[in-house]
Amino acid sequence: VTMDVLYRVYSLWTGKPISEIGSSRSGLSLQEPLNLHARLTKQVVGQDHAVEAVAEAILTVCAGMKDESAPVGAFLFLGPTGVGKTELAKAVTRELYGSEHELIRIDMSEYQEKHEVSRLIGSPPGYVGYDEGGQLTEAVKKKPNAVILLDEIDKAHEDVLTVFLQVFDEGRLTDGQGETVDFRNCLFIMTCNLYSQEIADMMREGMDHDEVLDQIEPALMRRLRPELYNRLDAVVPFNRISSEVVNTVVPIMLEKLAKELQKSQKMTLDWTQDVIDWLGKEGYSEELGLRPLKRLVMKGVRNKVARAILGGQVSKGDRVLLMVVDDDLVVTKG
């Protein structure tokens, strides 16, 4: 049974239009929740199962079907670097809270020691760092409605994990200064690179996501503790990015760059199909996923446009055309 069906049944029972069904959580700004999956799929390509799992879990919150004393959600994203874990976190942030700026990102590899709990939630009175507050708690005080991205959660010390156990359970936390911090309008996304190669190998052999989880779940539970693992709304394995997916991603990245140029320079950026093919070929890496491509588009192409502006080949307000000439990108006035 999908959330679409549940929404429609709920609408029939209550007489409330589907468009008006939503959570009473004050921090959410999600519009047209039933279209969330389609919108996320356009922003994160090649990870349909991951997008579906996240969208379905969020819809239960929007329907008011989750305990509102807990955070909006808690997800664990599994898979190698560059496959879209962070991009999906950013997309969810835009959808739920209206802006990517509402994303709080914490590198959990910096919390490998027991004493670093105080750096996360703040030191108690009389200890060094008391006036500074904690990285997590101070960030949420400033942004009470946010997606909190905990990168590489598997590297955090066990005592640090205990902090999140309380947050996921009660939706609040007392910091080192004795203040209660409210997490009920926050959504947590944790990333984990453990067993990335094993996940990729199993998927390459044709195993589906549920079968993959069956194989690695016992080890994940041991590392993250069963109490924490069992409080997650979804555990989501990500596929490795295929070369076919890359050519679908290139236009999305170019569109993002085009919007930046339109905003800052009033320029219209166009490109030919051979640009898409060239970027896809040069930027693809099975090992690193989409990161080389993103670097090539957002830095390489941007730098070429900047050089064309400074060299006088193009000016503010121009139509700019990207082409491939002699196996290299060329920027010309369109």
Q: Extract the tokens encoding 307.
A: 């050089």
Which region among 89-93, 223-227, 237-241, 283-287 has the lowest average model confidence (pLDDT)?
A: 283-287
Residues in the chain: 334
End-to-end CA distance of the chain: 51
3-state helix, strand and coil shares in percent for the chain, rounded to the nearest 5: 55, 15, 30
Which region among 260-269, 292-301, 312-321 has the lowest average model confidence (pLDDT)?
A: 292-301
Run of H or E including 309: helix 302-310
Closest by CA to 140, choosing from 151, 128, 149, is 149
12: left (phi over 0), alpha (psi -120 to 50) or beta: alpha
Angle at 233 between CA 10 and CA 5, to 5 degrees: 25
The predicted pLDDT at position 18 comes to 45
Q: How many CA atoms lie within 13 A of 270 on its CB side?
A: 8
Query: Are 191 and 152 a contacting pair, CB within 8 Å?
Result: yes
Average pLDDT, integer, range 168-174: 94
Of the two residues 286 and 282, the one the predictor is more confident about is 282
Task: Give the pLDDT band of residue 180 (cuts 50, 70, 90).
Answer: very high
Residues in contact with 197: Cβ distance below 8 Å, sequence separation at least 6, in sequence order: 80
The predicted pLDDT at position 289 comes to 85
Burial of 114 (0-12, 13-18, 19+ CB in 10 A): exposed
Q: Which residue has the tokens 């060299």?
A: 311
| Helix, coil or strand: residue 53 | helix
Q: Extract the tokens encoding 11.
A: 């609408």
Residues in contact with 84: Cβ distance below 8 Å, sequence separation at least 6, in sequence order: 44, 45, 46, 47, 50, 238, 241, 289, 290
Q: Is the pTM of this model over 0.85?
A: no
Q: Extract the tokens encoding 2.
A: 């999908």
Residues in contact with 274: Cβ distance below 8 Å, sequence separation at least 6, in sequence order: 323, 324
The full set of domains in the chain, from first to last, is 67-237 (3.40.50.300), 243-333 (1.10.8.60)
Q: Which residue has the tokens 């503010």?
A: 316
The predicted pLDDT at position 7 comes to 52
**Number of neighbouring beta carbons within 10 Å of residue 318:** 19
Average pLDDT, integer, range 181-192: 96
Query: Are 77 and 85 a contacting pair, CB within 8 Å?
Result: yes
- The per-residue pLDDT for range 3-38, each reduced to its tens digit, is 556 556 655 655 544 444 444 566 677 778 889 999
Q: Extract the tokens encoding 179.
A: 């203040």
The predicted pLDDT at position 11 comes to 53
Cα(277)–Cα(196) distance, rounded to whole angstroms?
28
Is residue 237 predicted with pLDDT exceeding 60? yes
Is residue 124 predicted with pLDDT exceeding 50? yes
| Helix, coil or strand: residue 269 | strand
Is residue 182 predicted with pLDDT exceeding 90? yes
